[in-house]
Structure 1
Amino acid sequence: MNAKSAKKLFKKYLNNECSPEEKELLDRFLESYQDKDAFLSEFSFDEGSQEELWQKIAEKTTLEKKNGSYFNRFVFKYAAVFIALLGLVTFFNVQRKDTVKAPALLIEDNAIVLKTGDDRTQEIVIGGGETITDAEGNILASQSDDQMVYHAKSTTELVYNEIIVPKGKRFELKLSDGTLVHLNADTSLKYPVSFIAGQDRKVFLNGEAYFEVAKDPDHKFTVVANDMDVQVLGTHFNVSSYANEENYTVLAEGSVAINDKRSDGGDGEPSILKPGQKAAMAKDALVISEVDISDYLNWRNGDLSFNNETFGAIIKKIERRYGVRIENGYAELEPVRFRGVFKNETIQDLLDTFKESAEFDYEITNNQIRIKKPLL
């Protein structure tokens, strides 16, 4: 549906002429707008229609708040996908159809792996109760469900462990100082079994993690993520350092100092980040911007969130979230931008949503998905 068709449907909505299916489509579309200007900027309605449409949104907002259900959600389930391409805004409502089902995906169930300082490896099963021991059999850490907790002990020697979380899984790690680390899929973290008194705390990240750093003014905490060092004393922040993708830090609370090691070897003046800001490693500089941090933190709840992101970038998120491989044979889709949030949808539900809205076909072979240009 193009913008012209959408405006016709809005007119039917104003005149109470929509079918139940059309009304559900527009209701879900309107749910995505929490701001009047954001809504009106996407459609060039005349002034009278603008006010009438927004009044309907306001009325529905008030009604749902009275019923205890807030209207400021931006979530769809087999629902609205928004595309902005070359200035043309289109939207779609995707519903399950009783059509021929695609072959089932055979998703690989790779294990979380822990590498210890003495070169041993141990598989971690989510929901299990593993214990981590040193070479002498002393317990270093214990697992409860999806979290591994390290126990503080006095030491004068740094011994590092490394945890590797595969695609399709997430895990939590509580370090010996009490710092809680939420690890996203396809992520590895190298960290000391115990920190040493009098020395700064330092961990090494490849992938994405959210840190809730235990406050300790005497021991600075540093996350080393490729060419970016994030230094804190105690705060909450997200770091993403996937290879061949934008590397960035988003601050939720407190403050952090970002060192770009590409500039003066990291010895230059650090950039200070404030809550609600993002520091991204652009080609030649560190770029700081104001962001909606929920767009960058929803992954901790298992959500797949994207806000005006290209289809090419979204493919990488889907691969990590579901542990699948995707080959895009429809290059024209790469620059198309989408926004939305998937929660508990299966990979097939997600693909069917995009298939209907972005108009592509796909085929499944084992755990390989190939996106294809539709036949005319």
Structure 2
Amino acid sequence: MDAKQAKALFNKYVNNECSPEERELLEKYLDSFQDDSLELSDLNFDEEIKPKMWSKIMSETTKEKQPVVRVLSFSSLMKYAAVIAGIAIGVSIWANLHNTNRQSLVIGDDKVVLRTSEGTSNEIVIGGISQINDDEGGVIASQEGDVIVYKPKSDIKQLVFNEIEVPRGKTFKVVLSDGTSVHLNSGTIFKFPVNFIQGEERKVFLTGEAYFEVAKDPEHPFLVNTSGMDVRVLGTHFNVSSYEGSVAHAVLIEGSVAVQEKDGGNIVGTEKVIVPGQKASLVSGNIEVQEVDVEDYVGWMRNVLIFNDEPFSEIVKKIERRYNVEIKNDYKELAPVRFNGKFDDETVIDLLETFRASAGFDYHISDNKVIINQNKRNSL
């Protein structure tokens, strides 16, 4: 497609005349260029069409006074915005305008911490190779990269626990002594036995989020204990989230699990069994079950941040955990507004700029904290 045909398509886009096929063709046209290989100013748009195009983009990314706001991916928004700005495809239109913000936000590099039953704390260097010893000097586990693997040991008479704390901005993996793999999300504390006792259930404790691939052992049920609910399995793949201040839930990918509510540490209510593709949430003291797209809940393992009809108040928490930043939202009306979006390797500034363009807020950075304010010119 040449520049003349592209210009005609952009005009149809502005006038809401693009068919789905033409819209897809326009996307592919923009995707076909790399870095600075195309100067979009060559399209020679008339000046009066540029504000119309920007208005069109904003109308698609912001639903004024609606409970759900659709967010374009960062790359899509930048491609269309680049057309208006008349600059090269590969150049972020925000890089120069917000360079100060980018430089002034310092991302911390906190360490993964392993605590033993003896009360010692050890910092885990991700990417390193090390051994973990018990109080007698015996090797109980080994670390390589971002994984710790615990060694099986028979004839255990008493449970000995270790605890791993994963800071914001990082993820980690633990392979338990029975072969169960546990992928830990950022901001998570996971407590588990160094070895399990023959004839007893396999019980672990979670605050935060983890994806479990449980080793099959029908004689020893596996139990994930959280502050609000327990998840009991024999062998399966599932994700559990129990961050403080957020709705606790379990999402099943494979197998079956039983979810039960807890009150003050005591099991209450009726046990509910869910099947793959279902999510069990603890809502107002009850376990609610619904069908979901499981990819929305396990993308974090691939370093993908996904929002599916989520309120901004919850999205802020995810951003804080993913990027290890602190965000203060002074635009209170934005908190319940729901968004859809998907982000891969964007920086936190890239992500904030995408939301800023679609939600109409302003932000600044003060004392290494992101402060969100209402944009008076484009309020909800």
TM-score, normalisation: structure 1: 0.78
Shift of residue 88, structure 1, vs aligned partner: 7.8
1:333 corresponds to: 334
Letter of the 2:107 partner, please give it.
I
Per-residue displacement from partner, 1:133-182 (whole Å, max 9, x unpaired)? 00111111111111110010122110000000011110000000000000
In terms of mean alpha carbon deviation, does 359-368 or 220-229 score higher? 359-368
The CA distance in 2 between the partners of 1:206 and 1:89, in whole Å, is: 30
Letter of the 1:132 partner, please give it.
I
1:255 corresponds to: 256
1:345 corresponds to: 346
Call closer, same or farther: CA 1:135–1:283 in 2, change over 3 Å: same
1:224 corresponds to: 225
Call closer, same or farther: CA 1:57–1:375 in 2, change over 3 Å: closer
Is this contact kept in 2: 1:83–1:339, CA < 8 A? no
SS at match of 1:350: helix
Is this contact kept in 2: 1:83–1:337, CA < 8 A? no
The CA distance in 1 between the partners of 2:265 and 2:204, in whole Å, is: 22
The CA distance in 2 between the partners of 1:296 and 1:353, in whole Å, is: 22
SS at match of 1:349: helix
The CA distance in 1 between the partners of 2:150 and 2:291, in whole Å, is: 35
Per-residue displacement from partner, 1:314-367 (whole Å, max 9, x unpaired)? 000000000000001111211221101100001111111112221221111343
Call closer, same or farther: CA 1:250–1:60 in 2, change over 3 Å: farther
The CA distance in 1 between the partners of 2:133 and 2:208, in whole Å, is: 26
Call closer, same or farther: CA 1:273–1:90 in 2, change over 3 Å: closer
Q: What pairs up with 1:21-100 in 2 under 5 angstroms?
A: 53-54=19-20, 82-84=61-63, 85-86=65-66, 93-94=77-78, 95=81, 96-97=92-93, 98-100=96-98
TM-score, normalisation: structure 2: 0.78
The CA distance in 2 between the partners of 1:90 and 1:270, in whole Å, is: 36
Is this contact kept in 2: 1:116–1:162, CA < 8 A? yes
Letter of the 1:86 partner, please give it.
Q
Is this contact kept in 2: 1:107–1:366, CA < 8 A? no
Q: What pairs up with 1:291-302 in 2 under 5 angstroms?
A: 291-302=292-303
1:137 corresponds to: 137
Unaligned runs of 5+ in 1: 1-13, 27-44, 62-78
Call closer, same or farther: CA 1:119–1:359 in 2, change over 3 Å: same
In terms of mean alpha carbon deviation, does 84-93 or 227-236 score higher? 84-93
Per-residue displacement from partner, 1:291-323 (whole Å, max 9, x unpaired)? 000011101111111001111110000000000
Is this contact kept in 1: 2:68–2:337, CA < 8 A? no
Is this contact kept in 1: 2:70–2:340, CA < 8 A? no
The CA distance in 2 between the partners of 1:215 and 1:148, in whole Å, is: 20
Letter of the 2:66 partner, please give it.
L
The CA distance in 2 between the partners of 1:370 and 1:334, in whole Å, is: 14
The CA distance in 1 between the partners of 2:121 and 2:247, in whole Å, is: 31
Is this contact kept in 2: 1:258–1:270, CA < 8 A? yes
Identity over aligned residues, as a percent? 45
Letter of the 1:146 partner, please give it.
D
Shift of residue 87, structure 1, vs aligned partner: 6.3
